[in-house]
Structure 1
Amino acid sequence: MATQPFENLPSPFLSDTFQRTLSSWNRERLAPAFPAADWELAQRRAYNMQRLERAFLESLRAEVSHRAKAVPREPGPFMEWFENLKVAGPGQGDPLFPWLAEEADRSQICWILEQEAAGEAGFDDLVALTQVKLPSGPKLELARNYWDEMGRGNAKGMHGPMLARLVEALDLHPAIETTVWESLALANAMTAMATTRAYAWHSVGALGVIELTASGRSAYVAKALRRIGLSGKERQYFDLHAMLDIKHSADWNREAILPLVEEDPRRAVAIAEGALIRLEAGKRCFDRYRRALWNAPAHS
């Protein structure tokens, strides 16, 4: 039987139904499990979901491809373009974060953090998935980054449990069913790039741009949490990322992205696409959060 072409798929990708379905499948497929009794049925379902996931990711690539094709291929100029995303990239300078730091009340802060926690794809796992078969130098940089995410072997320093402690302190209840599709789409896009080797360079760019841009937003969130009375231990996740991501970004750019582009300039476009996909996904989240809390129009 002939399969339906991607462009004729009836499911809209940027929607509640699709993103909730994809998010639920991602959580199911990435969780440790046992072989299914009917493995052929499970494999058919996985094929159908991967096909939809690939179509979703290609739609995101189409959104940014014209910008990515214009990036420099020479390593030095490319790195200048990439590092400028911190200032000029989609979603940067969004007014949501100064407002969060200075004006948002506790319920508004909690609502945003609940959305973010539910859409969290797990930076540590994304790095681990992305580094498979990378060249040695970039692989080592991703390993160093992963080791930091894992608290350098100390359970109390692991970044994932730090976020979980904040969720518990604020009595948040993140769930796919109550999370806006924009937040789920961000996590789904990151997961798709990290788990599909054809998008490995995209994932390097997407993870790198998180490190590049997260420190400023983290500082605003940390200020908001301090303002509503959370302790240093409770806001540790955001206090840490406000400082550590600056170093992580410099290391990632120097030790991972730069040598990858030096070795093969074609990777510049893929890395740029991944970075822009991640930034556009973040911008959609910020716009949705402001509409929900301010009844405000999209930010240009």
Structure 2
Amino acid sequence: MLEVGTSRAGTEPASRFLTTVDEVTVLLGTAADKADSQYSGDARTALLGRVAEINKAADAGDQQALYVQQYLLDRIYRLHTKLTDRETAEGSVVAHEIGRLLETATAEAQDRLIEPGLLEEAPTEPRAYLSWLKKTAREHRVYKHPYYHEFIRNRATEADLRNYVMQESVVDGRFDDLLAMMQVGTAGAAKMEIAANFWDEMGNGDRAQVHTTLFNKIFEVFQIPDEELERSLTANSLLNGNLAVLLCRYRSLYPEAVGFLGMTEWMAPDRFVQVVHAWERLGLPEVGIVYHRLHITIDSQHAQGWFHNVVLPAAESPRMRRAIARGILWRLNASATYLDERMPSVTG
């Protein structure tokens, strides 16, 4: 069975949840019709009850439960985002029910982190609304977070950068797929902007310049095997990756995805400047930093195009304004928690 890892917040394995993790893992590797026939009636009710217990413990602040919650959600998302030659439970009703329990608990936890009344403060005029979004981000504690500006830039060791890129893989390592998922059903200027962004991610047709390929060069520099990557991801790393998939795969959450991915690209250039500085300070191989150098310029351009061609037209709608802001705040808050988690290595 898969081994459950731990985050910095917990040093003991989440043993009381391991049975459920193992059970769900086996289920996800079973054909959909077989999984549903095995879990019907009382068996399904009992399994869903155990998943609900994990959510309840995570909601109460149990970091081991949070890890298990996000670990299982990541495994369910892999059914829909990775190709395989093995049987899976993609399409299974019970797998969907487990996923919805995990998604709902995750979304509710993020909504509770939003300052009460903040969404209601957003201006109604689109350009004023866009200025408000940027101002809200600049005033958030994650903006120019010391993890990047103090630690990564000036103190990070080669081992620290190695861990950094593993954690970042949950979003940076699959940004092209996120764009592909979120553009379904769009039209006009928004679809064209997403398409232009996607084509840049595809290296503008040059396979050697595909951004996921460039990102993976960092893994080659640090000789990071898949098994180590699996073990290294913390609860908050998994959470950030899961939030991106959650928002991009559901059409009803498209505006939240607009906010989440737009803020991701807007913050990236400043953060990557610090990573490049650290890379040069440590004298690491140039091939491993091409991805970050490229995105300092490209993400700045993408963010401006995103704001003006996707956000501004959508901001005519009160529903879209609220949802885009919700997605941005999810990104800001989740990123802050994730970066705070990384900070102990500065003083530890």
Question: Normalising by structure 2, what TM-score?
Answer: 0.77
Structure 1 counterpart SS, 2:288? coil
Which of 146, 152, 155 is the equivalent residue of 1:103?
A: 155
Q: What is the correspondence of 1:197-212 to structure 2 with a 5 Å cutoff?
A: 197-212=251-266
Structure 1 residue ranges, 4+ long, deviating more than 4 angstroms after superposition: 1-6, 33-40, 118-121
Q: What is the correspondence of 1:164-243 to structure 2 with a 5 Å cutoff?
A: 164-173=216-225, 174-243=228-297
Which of 132, 135, 151 is the equivalent residue of 1:84?
A: 135
Q: Deviations over 1:170-189 (max 9, x none)?
A: 22345233211111100011
Higher relative contact order (CA 8 A, sep 6+): 1
The structure whose Rg is larger is 2
Q: Take 2:276 and 2:233, find their aligned partners in 1: how far apart are those partners? A: 22
The residue aligned with 2:99 is 49
Which of 201, 206, 211 is the equivalent residue of 1:159?
A: 211
Q: Take 1:39 and 1:75, find their aligned partners in 2: how far apart are those partners? A: 40
Q: Is the Cα–Cα contact under 8 Å of residues 90 and 276 in structure 1 kept in the other structure?
A: no
Q: Deviations over 1:234-253 (max 9, x none)?
A: 21011111121111111110
Q: Take 1:116 and 1:44, find their aligned partners in 2: how far apart are those partners? A: 31
Evaluate the alpha carbon distance shift between residue 137 and residue 35 of structure 1 in structure 2; reply closer, same or farther with a 3 A threshold: farther
Structure 1 counterpart SS, 2:124? coil
Q: Deviations over 1:62-115 (max 9, x none)?
A: 322632232122201111012224522341121111221222221122122222
The answer to whether 1:127 aligns with 2:170 is no
Structure 1 counterpart SS, 2:224? coil
The residue aligned with 1:288 is 341
Q: Which amino acid aligns with 2:52?
A: L
Which of 269, 274, 291 is the equivalent residue of 2:322?
A: 269
Q: Is the Cα–Cα contact under 8 Å of residues 89 and 95 in structure 2 kept in the other structure?
A: no
Q: Is the Cα–Cα contact under 8 Å of residues 65 and 273 in structure 1 kept in the other structure?
A: no
Q: Which amino acid aligns with 2:285?
A: S
Q: Take 1:145 and 1:80, find their aligned partners in 2: how far apart are those partners? A: 22
Which of 27, 38, 48 is the equivalent residue of 2:78?
A: 27
Q: Which amino acid aligns with 1:280?
A: N
Q: Deviations over 1:124-179 (max 9, x none)?
A: 11111111112311111111111111111111111111110111112234523321
Structure 2 counterpart SS, 1:252? helix
Deviation at 1:268, TM superposition (A): 0.7
The answer to whether 1:63 aligns with 2:116 is no
Q: Which amino acid aligns with 2:342?
A: Y
Unaligned runs of 5+ in 1: 296-300
Deviation at 1:197, TM superposition (A): 1.6
Evaluate the alpha carbon distance shift between residue 107 and residue 254 of structure 1 in structure 2; reply closer, same or farther with a 3 A threshold: same
The residue aligned with 2:31 is none
Question: Normalising by structure 1, what TM-score?
Answer: 0.88
Q: Take 2:237 and 2:286, find their aligned partners in 1: how far apart are those partners? A: 27
Q: Is the Cα–Cα contact under 8 Å of residues 80 and 90 in structure 2 kept in the other structure?
A: no
Evaluate the alpha carbon distance shift between residue 267 and residue 37 of structure 1 in structure 2; reply closer, same or farther with a 3 A threshold: closer
Structure 1 counterpart SS, 2:286? coil
Q: Take 1:94 and 1:86, find their aligned partners in 2: how far apart are those partners? A: 12
Unaligned runs of 5+ in 2: 1-40
Q: Take 2:78 and 2:87, find their aligned partners in 1: how far apart are those partners? A: 16
Percent of aligned pairs with the same residue? 24
